[in-house]
C-alpha cells in the first residue's frame, strides 16, 4: 500500500476510504502517528481492510497503534456489528501467545538478574531492553503481565550453554531480523546479551554506611 491510499484525519488518525476496495462496507481507520504507521506490517493493514467487509459492521473497522498480523482478523483491531445482520466470530483473531517462561532471567538496570515472574509483584522496576529503532540497550519499565497456559513450549540451548523456554510463536532476534522460535533451525544464530549480571539478593535491613562513616573517611584523607 502507498501512503497516498490513506486519508489523514488528524496527526494520529488515518483512514482508508470505503472506495478503496469494492467489497468494503465501511472505511478502515488506524490510530497511529505517521512514524508508527510507516512501521505497520502491510498484511496487518490488509486485515484491517478485510474486517471492513464483514456483514453488519457498524461505522468503521478500527485498529490501535499496536496492531500486528493475526490469524484472520488483525490483532489490535476493534469492530462492532449490528443485530440481526451482524455476525459473531469466536476465532477470527486466533491466538497470540508470544510468551516466555516465568523462570526466564531478566536483567535489571542495576546489574542483577531475577526471574521474570518476580517482577509482577515489584513496582516500577527498570529492566534492560533493546530498542531496535535506535539499535541500543535502554532501560524500560514493564507495564503489564499476562499469564496463560499453552499447549506447547520449546527450549533453546545455545552453543554457550544458555537456555531459554518460550512458546513456538515467540520471536528471536537473528541476523535476518525477528524470527519465530518454531522457524529456527540447528546452527541458526540468535542474539544474546553478553553481560548476565549477578543473582539478585534481597538487601539486608541495616545501614551499610552512613554520614558519620563518610565524614570519617574524608577526615582521614585530609578533606574537610
The cell for 198 is: 549477578
Residues placed in the known binding site for Mn(2+): 96
Annotated binding site: 96
For every residue of 136-181, DSSP letters joined together read: EEEEE----------S--EEEE-TT--EEEE-TT-EEEETTEEEEG
- Which grid cell sits at 3? 501512503
Helices (H), 14-93: 34-39, 42-51
Grid cell of 22 as nine digits: 469494492
Is residue 138 within 8 A of residue 109, CB to CB? The reply is no
Amino acid at each position: 500500500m502507498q501512503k497516498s491510499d490513506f486519508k489523514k484525519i488528524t496527526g494520529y488518525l488515518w483512514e482508508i476510504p470505503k472506495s478503496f476496495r469494492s467489497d468494503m462496507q465501511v472505511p478502515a481507520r488506524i490510530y497511529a502517528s505517521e512514524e508508527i504507521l510507516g512501521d505497520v506490517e502491510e498484511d496487518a493493514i490488509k486485515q484491517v481492510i478485510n474486517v471492513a467487509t464483514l456483514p453488519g459492521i457498524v461505522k468503521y473497522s478500527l485498529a490501535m497503534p499496536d496492531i500486528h498480523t493475526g490469524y484472520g482478523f488483525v490483532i489490535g483491531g476493534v469492530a462492532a456489528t449490528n443485530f440481526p445482520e451482524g455476525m459473531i466470530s469466536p476465532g477470527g483473531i486466533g491466538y497470540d501467545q508470544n510468551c516466555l517462561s516465568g523462570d526466564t532471567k531478566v536483567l535489571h538496570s542495576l546489574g542483577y538478574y531475577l526471574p521474570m515472574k518476580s517482577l509482577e509483584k515489584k513496582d516500577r522496576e527498570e529492566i534492560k531492553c533493546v530498542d531496535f529503532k535506535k539499535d541500543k540497550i535502554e532501560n524500560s519499565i514493564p507495564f503489564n503481565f499476562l499469564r496463560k497456559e499453552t499447549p506447547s513450549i520449546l527450549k533453546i540451548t545455545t552453543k554457550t550453554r544458555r537456555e531459554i523456554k518460550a512458546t513456538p510463536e515467540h520471536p528471536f532476534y537473528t541476523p535476518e531480523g525477528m524470527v519465530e522460535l518454531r522457524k529456527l533451525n540447528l546452527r541458526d544464530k540468535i542474539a544474546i546479551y553478553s553481560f548476565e549480571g549477578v543473582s539478585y539478593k534481597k538487601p539486608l535491613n541495616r545501614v551499610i554506611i552512613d554520614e558519620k562513616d563518610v565524614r570519617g573517611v574524608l577526615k582521614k584523607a585530609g578533606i574537610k
